[in-house]
Amino acid sequence: MAWWLWVLLGFALVMCELLTPGGFFFLFFGLGAVAVGALVWLGAGGPAWLQWFLFSLISLGFLVPLRGRLLRRMATGDDTAARVDALVGQVAVLLDDLPPGEIGKAELRGTAWNARNEGERALRRGQRGRVTRVDGLTLWLQPE
């Protein structure tokens, strides 16, 4: 195969990676195709069967050691903290009566949460409370 076909295939595979959600498979096969294109351009490509073999070998050589690292790096972002911080200021509806300082249940965004009343007065079932902080799976609420 011509070197430019390998490079074109490589860029097409990288574009597929950009257009598909997560996984990081197409990226490494795209890099393998570009690498084979470079080898063919340098005159070290050989016959078509050898080029396909090199494509497989190089792609797996990129995929096996790098995919896990890349997935871990992408997953260790502070995304969870940002989502939890986004709950502060939201309004939850009490599912239980909640005396001051006590823990009960509240609903926020369609999910039941543990809730602690940090206000001075009791919150009643059905009343709304504003989230002031999130501690683990517990919402701290003030009367609205």
Residue range of the domain that includes 11: 3-75
Query: Is there a single domain that holds both residue 93 and residue 67?
Result: no
pTM of the model: 0.53
Look at residue 24 in the predicted model and tell me its pLDDT. 85
Tokens coding 142: 């003030």
Query: Is there a single domain that holds both residue 21 and residue 57?
Result: yes
Query: Is there a single domain that holds both residue 13 and residue 70?
Result: yes
Query: Is there a single domain that holds both residue 67 and residue 107?
Result: no
- Domain CATH number, residue 94: 2.40.50.140
pLDDT digits (tens, 9 = 90+) for 10-33: 999 999 999 988 788 899 999 999
Query: Is there a single domain that holds both residue 44 and residue 104?
Result: no
Look at residue 136 in the predicted model and tell me its pLDDT. 86
Average pLDDT, the chain: 91
Query: Is there a single domain that holds both residue 88 and residue 71?
Result: no
With bands split at pLDDT 50, 70 and 90, how would you rate the model's confidence at 137?
confident
Residues 131/105, Cβ–Cβ less than 8 Å: no
Query: Is there a single domain that holds both residue 97 and residue 126?
Result: yes
HSE-up (13 A, CA, CB side) for residue 84: 13
Query: 106: which residues sit within 8 A by CB, 6+ positions away?
Result: 92, 93, 94, 95, 96, 98, 112, 113, 114, 115, 129, 139, 141
Query: Is there a single domain that holds both residue 96 and residue 119?
Result: yes
Query: Is there a single domain that holds both residue 104 and residue 135?
Result: yes
Q: Which helix (H) or strand (E) holds 43?
A: none
Look at residue 74 in the predicted model and tell me its pLDDT. 77
Q: How many separate domains does the chain show?
A: 2
Query: Is there a single domain that holds both residue 92 and residue 63?
Result: no
With bands split at pLDDT 50, 70 and 90, how would you rate the model's confidence at 84?
confident
Inform me whether the pLDDT recorded for 39 exceeds 90: yes
Query: Is there a single domain that holds both residue 28 and residue 65?
Result: yes
